[in-house]
Structure 1
Amino acid sequence: MKKTSVITLLGILFCLLPLSVQAQLQEQRHNFALGVNGGVNLSKVSFSPTIKQGYLIGPTFGVTARYISEKYFSMICGIQAEVNYSQRGWKEIIEDGTEDTYHRAMNYLEVPLLAHLAFGKDRGNGVRFVLNLGPQIGFLINEKEYKSAAWHPEDRPYGVNVQYDKAAENKFDYGIIGGGGVEIRTGIGHFVAEARYYFGLSDFFNSTKKDYFSRSAHSYITAKLTYLFDITR
């Protein structure tokens, strides 16, 4: 009888051991936070045929929602969504002997949906290192060209001047965005300083065999600050 009881007890302990280990490795969290963000974009466009460019500097700002769902080992895991206004485009470097200047500002409504990972202070005030990565979609709101008063597009090297006065043909945009930064947790909220890179997978000009450009996709670097306050902890 005693032998049977010991075996039964050992069996129960053996079954409970994985649950105990899992509980130690994975801890549930229910931290929901809302906030605002703002920063600057340094953008270019990947054209084929190539157009020589410098970075176009433009603003970005919006709202942020973040949900932390669990801690796994020392890694804090969750998701983050944003709705942002973002100015992108390109600034041409014109080397044809003229003094022409040209850039185009393209204003988008963006929605990134990001996997959020953090390492560092779990609860209370302190510092975390954060990583965000995921897909992003966008919709072109409007665009505007800026040309110099003196304008000689016929002098462009290799005759690449089709882009001038040509409106974007595809307003829907999508791609991959990711980056990282530092989060400072305080008694009045969370302050996040972050840098990201966006790689566009769609073209805003048509890119069939009969079209001039086979690629016209956005890419940009963004530096931003985010302020978040907890709704639930």
Structure 2
Amino acid sequence: MIKKKSIILATLLLMGISLPSIAQIGEQRNNFAIGINGGVNLNTVSFEINNAASSQSKIKQNMLMGITGGLTARYISEKYFAMICGLQVELNIAQKGWDELYETADGQKDLSRSYVRNMTYLEIPFLAHLAFGKDRGAQVFLNLGPQIGFLLSDSEDAEGWTNEQMNIQKEYGKKIENKFDYGIAGGLGLEIRTKKAGNFLLEGRYYFGLADFFGNTKKDPFARSANRTITIKLSYLFDLKK
């Protein structure tokens, strides 16, 4: 895991170095746009059980659906050959968490019990924006960069469990110990740019969380507890400066 984090951070560092270099030799642009975004989150949590501290088995999950939305600001600084280069930052409210999956002895879904943890975050992604296409018309784009988040609220909804059973599941009733979240976000999308009506974007994005929201020491029940999110969103941007 440490090696994987190092590779990801090194990639981001190289991107940060290469983008200014491109800016020095590319065709200069000066386009600043702002707007709104909204969409759907499909969230799971990457759990790793600490066997030294817990006898709990693997946590199976359904995808938990939530909403996301907020503000977007984007600055396009240059065009290098066919590639349009810029930076994008967002301020979003996002619903995350997890929905546990239970099965009967014959492998069927057990509908007699459920557990859902709902977590709401304030999220700020800082993204490199790379696009290919026409200044007016269709563009295909890639967004990639770090993202941070702050937990605003969380709640749990459990049904069909006795107190004894809930004591076995260590995540039940457990407080969130780390409210600061961070990770890597990346997405692909299509943008339609118009002259008067603004710019319309459709994007599919994946967030790979690097922070654990539960404690992860040897005495804690979980060695890993990080968000994994698939987001499908629509954005509308209008140009302030061209």
Instruction: Name the residue aligned to 1:151.
Output: 161
Alignment pair present for 1:139 and 2:169: no
The alpha-carbon deviation at position 52 of structure 1 amounts to 0.3
Contact 1:100 1:152 survives alignment (8 Å):
no
Flag the 1:95–1:73 CA change in 2: closer, same or farther, 3 A: same
Instruction: Name the residue aligned to 1:182.
Output: 190
Give the Cα–Cα distance (whole angstroms) in 2 for the partners of residues 131 and 26 of structure 1: 18
Write the letter of the residue equivalent to 2:28: Q
| 2:122 aligned counterpart, secondary structure | strand
Instruction: Name the residue aligned to 2:33.
Output: 33
Give the Cα–Cα distance (whole angstroms) in 1 for the partners of residues 39 and 168 of structure 2: 32
Instruction: Name the residue aligned to 1:164.
Output: 172
Give the Cα–Cα distance (whole angstroms) in 2 for the partners of residues 85 and 40 of structure 1: 11
Selected match of 2:235 from 204, 226, 230: 226
The alpha-carbon deviation at position 154 of structure 1 amounts to 4.2
Alignment pair present for 1:103 and 2:111: no
Flag the 1:162–1:134 CA change in 2: closer, same or farther, 3 A: same
After superposing the two structures, state which structure 1 stretch, 69-78 or 90-99, moved more.
Answer: 90-99
Unpaired runs of 5+ residues, structure 1, are: 1-21
Give the Cα–Cα distance (whole angstroms) in 1 for the partners of residues 151 and 70 of structure 2: 16
Q: Cα RMSD over matched residues?
A: 1.8
Structure 1 segments (4+ residues) deviating >6 Å? none
Give the Cα–Cα distance (whole angstroms) in 2 for the partners of residues 160 and 219 of structure 1: 25
Write the letter of the residue equivalent to 1:207: N
Give the Cα–Cα distance (whole angstroms) in 2 for the partners of residues 176 and 103 of structure 1: 25
Selected match of 1:113 from 126, 130, 136: 126
The alpha-carbon deviation at position 95 of structure 1 amounts to 2.3
Instruction: Name the residue aligned to 1:94.
Output: 102
Flag the 1:153–1:54 CA change in 2: closer, same or farther, 3 A: farther
Instruction: Name the residue aligned to 1:216.
Output: 225
Aligned pairs (5 A) from 1:53-68: 53-68=61-76
Q: What are the Cα deviations for residues 78-111 of structure 1, in whole angstroms up to 9, with x where unaligned?
A: 0000000001100000225661111111000000
The alpha-carbon deviation at position 151 of structure 1 amounts to 1.7
Q: Normalising by the residue count of structure 1, what TM-score does the alignment of the two structures yield?
A: 0.84
Greater C-alpha Rg: 1
Give the Cα–Cα distance (whole angstroms) in 1 for the partners of residues 163 and 138 of structure 2: 52
Give the Cα–Cα distance (whole angstroms) in 1 for the partners of residues 164 and 48 of structure 2: 19
| 1:59 aligned counterpart, secondary structure | strand
Identity of aligned residues (%): 58
Contact 1:153 1:161 survives alignment (8 Å):
no
Give the Cα–Cα distance (whole angstroms) in 1 for the partners of residues 88 and 70 of structure 2: 13
Alignment pair present for 1:194 and 2:242: no
Flag the 1:192–1:153 CA change in 2: closer, same or farther, 3 A: farther
| 2:217 aligned counterpart, secondary structure | coil
Q: Normalising by the residue count of structure 2, what TM-score does the alignment of the two structures yield?
A: 0.81
The alpha-carbon deviation at position 152 of structure 1 amounts to 3.3
Alignment pair present for 1:74 and 2:87: no
Give the Cα–Cα distance (whole angstroms) in 2 for the partners of residues 131 and 225 of structure 1: 15
